[in-house]
Amino acid sequence: MCGPSPPASRLAKVLLKRRRKNGSLDFDTGEAKFTFDAEGLPAQIIKKTRLDAHRLVEECMLLANQTVARHVGAVRREEEVKPFLYRVHDLPDPVKLRELATFVHQFGLSLDAKNGVSSHELQKLLDQAEGTEVENIINDVALRSMAKAVYSPKNIGHYGLAFTHYAHFTSPIRRYPTSSSIACSANMLQASTSGGSRRSGPACRKSRASRPRGNGWPLERSESP
Protein backbone atom coordinates (compact mmCIF):
# COMPACT_ATOMS: atom_id res chain seq x y z
CA MET A 1 0.00 0.00 0.00
CA CYS A 2 1.49 3.34 -0.99
CA GLY A 3 1.65 6.08 1.59
CA PRO A 4 0.17 9.54 1.11
CA SER A 5 2.11 12.29 -0.62
CA PRO A 6 4.21 14.55 1.66
CA PRO A 7 1.61 17.39 1.63
CA ALA A 8 -1.18 14.91 2.47
CA SER A 9 0.92 13.38 5.23
CA ARG A 10 1.56 16.83 6.70
CA LEU A 11 -2.16 17.59 6.51
CA ALA A 12 -2.98 14.48 8.54
CA LYS A 13 -0.46 15.50 11.20
CA VAL A 14 -1.83 19.04 11.34
CA LEU A 15 -5.41 17.78 11.76
CA LEU A 16 -4.35 15.31 14.46
CA LYS A 17 -2.37 17.98 16.32
CA ARG A 18 -5.31 20.38 16.24
CA ARG A 19 -7.71 17.70 17.41
CA ARG A 20 -5.51 16.68 20.31
CA LYS A 21 -4.99 20.31 21.28
CA ASN A 22 -8.79 20.62 21.60
CA GLY A 23 -8.87 17.61 23.94
CA SER A 24 -9.58 14.73 21.57
CA LEU A 25 -8.37 11.34 22.81
CA ASP A 26 -6.08 9.26 20.63
CA PHE A 27 -6.29 5.64 21.72
CA ASP A 28 -3.86 3.31 19.98
CA THR A 29 -4.93 -0.18 20.99
CA GLY A 30 -3.55 -1.91 17.89
CA GLU A 31 -5.26 -4.28 15.50
CA ALA A 32 -4.39 -7.87 14.63
CA LYS A 33 -3.86 -9.27 11.15
CA PHE A 34 -4.16 -13.01 10.45
CA THR A 35 -2.21 -14.96 7.87
CA PHE A 36 -3.40 -18.34 6.60
CA ASP A 37 -1.67 -21.42 5.28
CA ALA A 38 -2.38 -23.23 2.00
CA GLU A 39 -5.31 -25.06 3.60
CA GLY A 40 -6.92 -21.85 4.80
CA LEU A 41 -6.07 -22.37 8.47
CA PRO A 42 -4.72 -19.54 10.66
CA ALA A 43 -0.93 -19.64 10.62
CA GLN A 44 0.17 -16.40 12.25
CA ILE A 45 -1.13 -13.33 14.07
CA ILE A 46 0.62 -10.07 13.21
CA LYS A 47 0.05 -6.61 14.66
CA LYS A 48 -1.08 -4.22 11.94
CA THR A 49 1.10 -1.19 11.33
CA ARG A 50 -0.74 2.13 11.50
CA LEU A 51 0.52 4.00 8.46
CA ASP A 52 0.36 7.72 7.68
CA ALA A 53 -2.15 6.79 4.96
CA HIS A 54 -4.45 5.35 7.62
CA ARG A 55 -4.08 8.50 9.69
CA LEU A 56 -4.98 10.67 6.71
CA VAL A 57 -8.18 8.70 5.98
CA GLU A 58 -9.14 8.72 9.66
CA GLU A 59 -8.66 12.45 10.09
CA CYS A 60 -10.57 13.26 6.89
CA MET A 61 -13.45 11.02 7.99
CA LEU A 62 -13.59 12.69 11.39
CA LEU A 63 -13.56 16.13 9.81
CA ALA A 64 -16.35 15.20 7.39
CA ASN A 65 -18.49 13.70 10.16
CA GLN A 66 -17.98 16.74 12.38
CA THR A 67 -18.69 19.22 9.58
CA VAL A 68 -21.98 17.56 8.57
CA ALA A 69 -23.19 17.34 12.18
CA ARG A 70 -22.30 20.99 12.87
CA HIS A 71 -24.10 22.09 9.73
CA VAL A 72 -27.26 20.22 10.71
CA GLY A 73 -27.07 21.39 14.32
CA ALA A 74 -26.40 25.05 13.49
CA VAL A 75 -29.81 26.49 14.38
CA ARG A 76 -30.80 29.64 16.24
CA ARG A 77 -34.43 28.92 17.04
CA GLU A 78 -36.08 25.85 18.56
CA GLU A 79 -38.43 25.47 15.59
CA GLU A 80 -35.43 25.13 13.29
CA VAL A 81 -34.12 22.01 15.06
CA LYS A 82 -33.93 19.17 12.56
CA PRO A 83 -34.28 15.47 13.46
CA PHE A 84 -30.92 13.84 12.99
CA LEU A 85 -28.94 10.89 14.34
CA TYR A 86 -25.93 12.17 16.19
CA ARG A 87 -23.13 9.98 17.45
CA VAL A 88 -22.83 11.05 21.09
CA HIS A 89 -20.50 10.11 23.91
CA ASP A 90 -21.36 11.00 27.51
CA LEU A 91 -19.00 11.83 30.38
CA PRO A 92 -17.28 8.84 32.01
CA ASP A 93 -18.65 7.30 35.21
CA PRO A 94 -16.78 8.92 38.17
CA VAL A 95 -16.50 5.54 39.91
CA LYS A 96 -14.80 3.98 36.90
CA LEU A 97 -12.43 6.93 36.67
CA ARG A 98 -11.40 6.49 40.31
CA GLU A 99 -10.84 2.79 39.66
CA LEU A 100 -8.71 3.70 36.65
CA ALA A 101 -6.66 6.13 38.76
CA THR A 102 -6.04 3.40 41.34
CA PHE A 103 -5.08 0.90 38.63
CA VAL A 104 -2.55 3.12 36.85
CA HIS A 105 -0.95 4.19 40.13
CA GLN A 106 0.62 0.74 40.55
CA PHE A 107 2.57 1.37 37.34
CA GLY A 108 3.90 4.71 38.53
CA LEU A 109 1.40 6.71 36.47
CA SER A 110 -0.85 9.45 37.84
CA LEU A 111 -4.45 10.48 37.23
CA ASP A 112 -6.34 12.81 39.55
CA ALA A 113 -9.95 11.63 39.44
CA LYS A 114 -11.25 13.34 42.57
CA ASN A 115 -13.17 16.04 40.72
CA GLY A 116 -13.80 14.35 37.39
CA VAL A 117 -11.38 13.95 34.51
CA SER A 118 -11.33 16.05 31.37
CA SER A 119 -10.36 14.49 28.06
CA HIS A 120 -7.19 16.62 28.19
CA GLU A 121 -6.19 15.01 31.49
CA LEU A 122 -6.98 11.54 30.21
CA GLN A 123 -4.80 12.13 27.14
CA LYS A 124 -1.94 13.13 29.46
CA LEU A 125 -2.25 9.68 31.06
CA LEU A 126 -2.05 8.01 27.66
CA ASP A 127 1.00 10.14 26.86
CA GLN A 128 2.64 8.99 30.11
CA ALA A 129 2.15 5.37 29.11
CA GLU A 130 3.25 5.83 25.49
CA GLY A 131 6.34 3.80 24.62
CA THR A 132 6.32 1.83 27.87
CA GLU A 133 5.71 -1.90 28.27
CA VAL A 134 2.30 -1.19 29.83
CA GLU A 135 1.11 1.10 27.03
CA ASN A 136 -1.34 -1.41 25.55
CA ILE A 137 -2.94 -2.39 28.84
CA ILE A 138 -3.27 1.26 29.95
CA ASN A 139 -4.93 2.12 26.63
CA ASP A 140 -7.29 -0.83 26.96
CA VAL A 141 -8.28 -0.20 30.59
CA ALA A 142 -8.71 3.53 29.98
CA LEU A 143 -10.92 2.79 26.99
CA ARG A 144 -13.09 0.47 29.08
CA SER A 145 -13.48 3.20 31.67
CA MET A 146 -15.29 5.36 29.14
CA ALA A 147 -19.01 5.54 28.59
CA LYS A 148 -20.24 3.85 25.43
CA ALA A 149 -20.89 5.95 22.37
CA VAL A 150 -24.47 5.70 21.10
CA TYR A 151 -26.75 7.14 18.44
CA SER A 152 -29.26 9.70 19.58
CA PRO A 153 -31.49 12.43 18.08
CA LYS A 154 -30.45 14.56 21.06
CA ASN A 155 -26.98 16.03 20.69
CA ILE A 156 -24.89 16.09 23.88
CA GLY A 157 -21.52 16.19 22.15
CA HIS A 158 -18.76 13.60 22.04
CA TYR A 159 -16.51 13.45 25.11
CA GLY A 160 -13.82 11.19 23.65
CA LEU A 161 -13.37 13.25 20.49
CA ALA A 162 -13.99 16.58 22.24
CA PHE A 163 -16.49 17.51 19.52
CA THR A 164 -19.63 19.54 20.18
CA HIS A 165 -21.23 17.93 17.11
CA TYR A 166 -20.52 14.53 15.60
CA ALA A 167 -22.30 12.04 13.35
CA HIS A 168 -21.54 8.91 11.35
CA PHE A 169 -21.72 10.36 7.87
CA THR A 170 -18.87 8.22 6.50
CA SER A 171 -19.07 4.99 8.53
CA PRO A 172 -19.10 2.01 6.12
CA ILE A 173 -20.35 -0.53 8.67
CA ARG A 174 -23.23 1.43 10.22
CA ARG A 175 -25.47 1.66 7.25
CA TYR A 176 -28.70 3.03 8.73
CA PRO A 177 -27.14 5.95 10.65
CA THR A 178 -24.90 6.76 7.69
CA SER A 179 -27.67 6.57 5.08
CA SER A 180 -30.05 8.61 7.23
CA SER A 181 -27.37 11.28 7.76
CA ILE A 182 -26.72 11.44 4.03
CA ALA A 183 -30.46 11.61 3.27
CA CYS A 184 -31.02 14.46 5.74
CA SER A 185 -28.00 16.37 4.47
CA ALA A 186 -29.07 15.95 0.85
CA ASN A 187 -32.58 17.11 1.71
CA MET A 188 -31.24 20.24 3.42
CA LEU A 189 -28.84 20.97 0.57
CA GLN A 190 -31.59 20.62 -2.01
CA ALA A 191 -33.85 22.94 -0.02
CA SER A 192 -31.14 25.57 0.36
CA THR A 193 -30.11 25.54 -3.31
CA SER A 194 -33.72 25.74 -4.46
CA GLY A 195 -34.46 28.63 -2.13
CA GLY A 196 -36.73 26.56 0.07
CA SER A 197 -36.80 26.06 3.81
CA ARG A 198 -34.05 24.22 5.68
CA ARG A 199 -36.65 22.32 7.63
CA SER A 200 -36.55 18.57 7.44
CA GLY A 201 -38.15 16.64 4.65
CA PRO A 202 -39.48 13.06 4.61
CA ALA A 203 -36.01 11.51 4.78
CA CYS A 204 -35.17 13.40 7.97
CA ARG A 205 -38.53 12.70 9.59
CA LYS A 206 -37.93 8.98 9.06
CA SER A 207 -34.77 9.22 11.18
CA ARG A 208 -36.74 10.59 14.14
CA ALA A 209 -39.24 7.73 14.04
CA SER A 210 -36.71 4.89 14.14
CA ARG A 211 -34.13 6.24 16.59
CA PRO A 212 -31.76 3.24 16.55
CA ARG A 213 -29.09 3.25 19.25
CA GLY A 214 -25.98 1.31 18.40
CA ASN A 215 -23.55 0.71 21.27
CA GLY A 216 -19.81 0.59 20.80
CA TRP A 217 -16.55 1.85 22.22
CA PRO A 218 -16.14 5.62 22.13
CA LEU A 219 -13.22 5.63 19.74
CA GLU A 220 -13.60 2.90 17.22
CA ARG A 221 -11.31 2.76 14.21
CA SER A 222 -14.28 3.42 11.94
CA GLU A 223 -15.12 6.43 14.07
CA SER A 224 -11.83 7.99 15.09
CA PRO A 225 -11.41 5.67 13.44
Structural domain boundaries in the chain: 6-90+149-210, 94-144
Q: The dihedral of CA 196, 204, 182, 150: what is its sign? A: positive
What whole-number distance in Å separates Cα of residue 63 and Cα of residue 173?
18
Query: Residue 149 forms beta bridges with which residues?
Result: 216
State the first-to-last Cα distance of the chain, in angstroms, to the nearest integer. Answer: 19
Q: Is the pLDDT of residue 210 over 60?
A: no
pLDDT tens digits along 115-133: 889 999 999 999 999 989 9
pTM value is 0.75
Confidence category of residue 168, pLDDT binned at 50, 70, 90 = confident
Contact (CB, 8 A) for 91 and 159? yes
Neighbour count for residue 170 (Cβ, 10 Å): 19
Does pLDDT of 216 surpass 90? no
pLDDT above 90: percentage of residues in the chain: 39
Q: What are phi and psi of 134, to 5 degrees?
A: -105, 10
Q: How far apart are CA 88 and CA 65, in angstroms?
A: 12
pLDDT interval class at 2 (50, 70, 90): low
Closest CA to 30 of 128, 143, 107: 143
Name the DSSP class of 216. Answer: B
Span 162-176, average pLDDT? 82
pLDDT at position 106 is 94
